[in-house]
Amino acid sequence: MCQVIHSSIGLWYPTVQFTCKVHNPKTNETIWKSVNVSNFVSAPPGLDKRSCKADEFSITFKSDPTPSYSIRANLSNKLQVFVDISRSASVPGFKIGKGPQGGYSFFGRNTAKPDGYVVHRFWPLTTASGHVVHEGKAISMDGQGMFVHAIQGMRPNLVASAWNFAHFQSVEHGGVSAIQMEFTTNETHGRKGENSGPVTVNVGSIVLAGRLVAVTAETKWPDEERRVGVDVVSRAIHTDALRDSDTGYQCPRAIVFEWETAANVEQDVKGRIEAKLAVDVTQGLVEKVDLLAEIPYVVRMAVNYVAGTKPFMYQWFNPVKLLVKGPDGLIPGLSQGIEIPGHLYNEATFIS
């Protein structure tokens, strides 16, 4: 995982971090590095705003022959990154909603003057190639991946009390992916404003046979039960939760992710797509991340929410099987349901 975090909340100038995590499930070894960069520039000379650079890294967008990003980073004398990610024309990026405001979730009753907003835009299936050099040894990064551009247009503690994220990839059937992002607001945001929440917002996608075939989005309001037989299902369900003495949160022992909608991207695909993924998270724990410890000191002091909150992120990586049903035109036998083996990286974040 490579991530650029651009933080400008309550600051005269932004603080920019580059983070990198490499996990080997065979050895259970995790390499982690987070660097506050210097001399950050968005849209370097000759490049557009999808590119950026600093003394420690560069990310360069290219549109030809296919949309791609080239990532180069020198994070220390022990860790360097050289990775390119690209997407094919058959798996376009997606966002919920059309136009410049596509991908936005607005907080408050007036979308013209919202209390705040978040934005999520995805490339759900990419090809990654390159390597990471750790202590002089190259680690191959060839495989499938995904890309997300996310914005939190308000203080993190005001956005959500909890998050879920699922990233499933499989090389079977010409390339399969299942992506899901979900956040649950605080009590402050519901249909009636203050103390009428929380609201759960979920966005997802399914790629089958190397084609983006479905995008899902579902909102659960606090005054309604989860509906049965709805046109679109996009949800993460925690089960068998127990209190974790390390963090104080009710941590699930299993999580079920669900997607269901009419095929709504590929024009020549008709019928419904249904997918379900159940993961036992008593296994495959990569790390429990103390998020306050990862925030730069200047941002931590500027964001006035440290007292009374103790945000933690659980990260897991497991071999799993995605159960999918859909039109046989995509994959033979899909109408009867097939299990697709692959790997799932998922997160559960608790803010308050």
Q: Within 13 Å, how many C-alpha atoms sit on residue 140's CB side? A: 3
Tokens of 262: 């009419």
Give the pLDDT of residue 44: 85
DSSP SS3 for 29: strand
pTM score: 0.93
* pLDDT exceeds cutoff 80 at 132: yes
Single-letter amino acid code for the residue at 191:
R
Give the pLDDT of residue 40: 94
Q: Among the ranges 60-64, 166-170, 261-265, 269-273, which has the highest mean pLDDT value?
A: 166-170
pLDDT category at 296 given cuts 50, 70, 90 is: low
* pLDDT exceeds cutoff 90 at 168: yes
Choice among 134-138, 288-292, 331-335 with the minimum mean pLDDT: 288-292
pLDDT above 70 coverage of the chain, percent:
95
Other C-beta atoms lying within 10 Å of the C-beta of residue 86: 17
Q: Within 13 Å, how many C-alpha atoms sit on residue 180's CB side? A: 33
Q: Among the ranges 41-55, 193-207, 312-326, which has the highest mean pLDDT value?
A: 312-326
Question: Could you tell me which residues come within 8 angstroms of residue 61 by beta carbon, excluding any fewer than 6 positions away?
Answer: 47, 48, 50, 51, 67, 68, 69
pLDDT category at 191 given cuts 50, 70, 90 is: confident
* pLDDT exceeds cutoff 70 at 301: no
* pLDDT exceeds cutoff 80 at 310: yes
Cβ atoms 77, 135 nearer than 8 A: no
> Region 272-293: what's the mean pLDDT?
94
